[in-house]
Amino acid sequence: MSFAKLTVSTLAVAAMATTVSAQSRDNVQIAGSSTVLPYATIVAEAFGENFDFPTPVVESGGSSTGLRRFCEGVGENTIDIANSSRSIRPNEIETCAANGVTDIIEVRFGYDGIVFASDINGPSFEFTPSDWYLALAANLPVDGEMVTNPNTNWAEVNGDLPDQPIAAFIPGTRHGTREVFEDNVILQGCEDTGSLAAMMEMGMDEDAAEDACLELRADGRSVDIDGDYTETLARISADTNGIGVFGLAFYENNTDTLQVATMGGIEPTVDTIATGEYPVSRPLFFYIKAAHIGVIPGLQEYASFFVSDDIAGPFGPLAAYGLVSDPELAEVQATVANGTPMSN
């Protein structure tokens, strides 16, 4: 092969191999979603105990942060895996490619539900997406114009809800959970209430109307949480009127202090998420840098171990923690075993 025909990816991998041979890194490095963090930590610790490789280093920071670090390039000074509670975006794939990360293996290892939980000693809630939109939207369409959201109490939003001040602790914008919350709850509620249609009748195009739906209030009733779920839990402990957005697994491991709300009349459980009956669920992913396989010791073994029946299957430790096992796990295992990159 002539030098002129070498691709960016080939050059990057060659440079990486040279670097690693001279300056070896012997542990797998992972960063990303706080939702995926406990699952990845369970796997990393079990991997370190059962394989002749160092325990992988798993960091949090949010899905967007993990994918940004993942796309910085190839080489031992970059991470090997990005954990994410959403799928990688086209612009992130473009950034990866521009930095030589061209072969990305997407691994969907299971499902999780987004739940709405409050202090165990407080009143119970039965929510719909409309309730959350009417509670958190910055502005609402009224009589042909946009007005500042006047609602300060859940009973003002819906007379069937408890008479309790609105105090919502929601994932910050860097978290994958935020995207699912916006699409499946806030935007859905905007549509269900007729607000989206009303905005378009006022002259907004669809994109502008959707943006208006997703603009959340900044008066303290809705608070972005940039940390992990433990910070949300601490906020509810400090303010018992608070309602937090969590992953199902985190809630199930804190039922001594939290109670969960229904959404659309459905209680979030492993079964209702597995069947798709619960309306706010999402797949969980990790992304492997294919250029690091065979270079970073233990990377292939860790990924295969993660999606094995013993770990990610319906009777494994991840399911015991709260993961809904992927019904197509065998296909996922084949993708990992064959190192099949996602189609860009």
CATH number for the domain that contains residue 206: 3.40.190.10
Distances from the Cα of 45 to the Cα of 96, 196, 254, 329, angstroms: 29, 47, 22, 22
What average pLDDT values come out for the chain (344 residues) when binned by 10 residues? Answer: 34 41 74 93 96 96 94 96 95 97 96 94 97 98 97 97 97 84 94 97 95 97 92 96 93 95 94 87 94 96 98 92 90 97 80
Q: What proportions of the chain, in percent to the nearest 5, are helix, strand and coil?
A: 40, 20, 35
Report whether 151 contacts 166 (CB < 8 A).
yes
Tell me whether residue 17 is in a domain: no
Res 4: pLDDT: 32
Q: Are residues 43 and 126 in the same domain?
A: no
Q: Are residues 269 and 295 in the same domain?
A: no
Q: Are residues 244 and 317 in the same domain?
A: no
Tell me whether residue 9 is in a domain: no
Tell me whether residue 10 is in a domain: no
Tell me whether residue 1 is in a domain: no
Number of independent structural domains in the chain: 2
Rounded Cα–Cα distance for residues 321 and 86 (Å): 20
Q: Are residues 129 and 260 in the same domain?
A: yes
Here the tokens at position 342 are: 């996602």
Tell me whether residue 99 is in a domain: yes
312: enclosing H helix or E strand: helix 309-312
Q: Are residues 86 and 156 in the same domain?
A: no
Q: Are residues 59 and 188 in the same domain?
A: no
Q: Are residues 127 and 268 in the same domain?
A: yes
Q: Report angle CA 246, 224, 252 to the nearest 5 degrees.
A: 10
Q: Are residues 309 and 246 in the same domain?
A: no
Q: Are residues 195 and 62 in the same domain?
A: no
Could you list the residue range(s) of the whole structural domain that residue 238 is in?
113-281
Res 338: pLDDT: 96
Domain end marker among 239, 257, 281 = 281
Rounded Cα–Cα distance for residues 83 and 33 (Å): 5
Q: Are residues 286 and 334 in the same domain?
A: yes
Tell me whether residue 14 is in a domain: no
Q: Are residues 99 and 117 in the same domain?
A: no
Tell me whether residue 257 is in a domain: yes
Q: Are residues 127 and 275 in the same domain?
A: yes
